[in-house]
């Protein structure tokens, strides 16, 4: 089992390098707090909030996953040079059709610094 890194509140960390390291690897979920049952629902996952991630041949975000509890809902894969070797925020829009309340988690895998997990985002699904 790989080590799973989790986001920490970077405003509580003194060293700029540590804040940069944590933020640029952490996935963040952006979506509404409610969704309608059976209707397409957009979930954006963004890697890095304040800091961009380097994207080069041996150091890049290889994939972003979206989970609902223990169920993998979707995955986007990236290869070296996908982002022209430029520092960036990797962003993925996933579209799902919910049938019940969601407990969403995003995972991002950096080829140099391992697996990173977002905070849980709860979404209430209404009729």
Q: Please give the full DSSP string across 19-39, using - where no structure is assigned.
A: HHHHHHH-EEEE--SEEETTS
| pLDDT at position 88 | 85
pLDDT band at residue 84 using 50, 70 and 90 as cut-offs: confident
How large a percentage of the chain has pLDDT more than 70?
94
pLDDT digits (tens, 9 = 90+) for 29-74: 999 999 999 999 999 999 999 888 888 888 899 999 999 999 999 9
4-126 homologous superfamily:
SOR catalytic domain (2.60.40.730)
Question: Residue 34 to residues 45, 70, 121: CA-CA distances in angstroms?
Answer: 17, 20, 11
**pLDDT over 70 at 11, yes or no:** yes
pTM of the model: 0.87
| Enclosing H/E stretch for 16 | helix 16-25
Rounded to an integer, what distance in angstroms lies between the CA atom of residue 115 and that of residue 17?
19
pLDDT band at residue 111 using 50, 70 and 90 as cut-offs: very high
Q: Which pLDDT value is given to residue 50? A: 87
Q: What is the rounded CA–CA span in Å between residue 102 and residue 86?
A: 34
Torsion sign across C-alpha atoms 41, 42, 45, 51: negative
- Is 60 exceeded by the pLDDT of residue 125? yes
Domain spans in the chain, listed from the N-terminal domain onward: 4-126
């Amino acid at each position: 089992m790989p080590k799973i890194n989790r986001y920490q509140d970077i405003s509580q960390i003194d060293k700029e390098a540590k804040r940069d390291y944590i933020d640029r690897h952490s996935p963040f979920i952006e979506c509404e707090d409610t969704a309608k049952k059976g209707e397409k629902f957009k979930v954006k996952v963004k890697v890095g909030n304040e800091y961009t991630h380097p994207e080069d041949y041996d150091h890049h975000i290889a994939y972003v996953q979206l989970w609902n509890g223990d169920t993998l809902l979707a995955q986007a894969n990236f290869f070296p040079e996908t982002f022209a070797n430029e520092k960036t925020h990797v962003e993925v829009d996933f579209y799902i059709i919910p049938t019940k309340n969601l407990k969403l988690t995003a995972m991002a895998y950096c080829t140099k610094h391992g697996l990173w997990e977002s905070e849980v985002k709860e979404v209430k699904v209404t009729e």
